[in-house]
Structure 1
Amino acid sequence: MNRGVMALPQLNIYRHDRGRRALITLAGEIDPATAPQVRTALERCLSDGLTTIDVDLTAVGRCDSSGLSVFLHASRHAAETHASLRLHHPSPQTTRLLTDSGSDLLLL
């Protein structure tokens, strides 16, 4: 299958630590192609012993169910290690996804 000049999904991940807190800023789209990168970044925060992970979604255009799955998995893992994961500034589309799945109370 020739995909021509279609651009690959792009997601930039920035991490800023302050003590035992991390701010993860995501920019781009979260879909099946990029969700594994998000999972890796969040798991690395937990394995580094951080107790608070704030995820800034201001610059995320679209987040699908694969992204939601990553956030829920990371949130459960964080809870097991007495850490917390919170999503901040989701787009209206992402907020709807979280609300429709009942995940808004857990993640926002």
Structure 2
Amino acid sequence: MPIPQLTLYRHDRHSRALITLAGEIDLTTEHVVRESLGQCLRDGIRTIDVDLTTVTFCDVTGLNAFLHASWATGVAGGSLRLHHPPPALARITALTGNSTLLHGYPGALPPRPSSPPLAPGAPSRWPSRVPRATAIPTRGN
């Protein structure tokens, strides 16, 4: 089995950095992402753009690294944006409600064909309150 590879390029201009990633972001490579984004902050960078055009795979560990970096950048008074994510990353980012990380992507997924959108003012298909689960007594042997 080949070892996943991740290549990272960083280009700084004043307090802004462009990070270009190429390859796969997963459990074995996410530390590279975390360290490089953390180093940007330590170097005084406050606006971080991450180009994912040549990323072929990114799982939830990669998303977690980006979320951590986004939080840390926000605390430092900056911003982090992901550009041109692979479709799978764009989808999990939208599904988890983190589309604000994505530059140029809509904030929500389109409705599924089997689930047409509701008309304005129509009641929700889902109950507003989910009943609490109750224990069902079982017979002892």
**Superposition TM-score tier, normalisation by shorter sequence:** over 0.9
Percentage identity across paired residues of the two chains: 56
Instruction: Supply the distance in 1 between the matched residues of 2:64 and 2:78 (Cα, whole angstroms).
Output: 18
- Gapped runs of 5+ residues in structure 1? 1-5
Greater percentage in helix: 1
* Partner of residue 71, structure 2: 76
Instruction: Supply the distance in 2 between the matched residues of 1:16 and 1:52 (Cα, whole angstroms).
Output: 12
* Partner of residue 11, structure 2: 16
Instruction: Supply the distance in 1 between the matched residues of 2:86 and 2:27 (Cα, whole angstroms).
Output: 18
1:50 aligns with 2:45: yes
- Number of aligned residues: 102
* Cα offsets for 1:74-105 (capped at 9, x unmatched): 00000110011000001111100100111112
| Counterpart code for 1:57 | L
Pick the aligned partner of 2:23 from 22, 28, 34: 28
Higher RCO structure, 1 or 2 (CA under 8 Å, sep 6+): 1
With normalisation by structure 1, the TM-score equals: 0.92
- Gapped runs of 5+ residues in structure 2? 103-141
CA RMSD across the alignment: 0.6
Instruction: Supply the distance in 1 between the matched residues of 2:76 and 2:60 (Cα, whole angstroms).
Output: 24
Instruction: Supply the distance in 2 between the matched residues of 1:102 and 1:62 (Cα, whole angstroms).
Output: 20
| 1:51 Cα offset (Å) | 1.1
* Partner of residue 102, structure 1: 97
Moved segments of 4+, more than 6 Å: none
Greater percentage in strand: 1
**Secondary structure at 1:97 match in 2:** helix
* Partner of residue 56, structure 2: 61
Larger radius of gyration: 2
1:93 aligns with 2:93: no
**Secondary structure at 1:58 match in 2:** strand
With normalisation by structure 2, the TM-score equals: 0.71
* Partner of residue 41, structure 1: 36
Instruction: Supply the distance in 1 between the matched residues of 2:65 and 2:88 (Cα, whole angstroms).
Output: 17
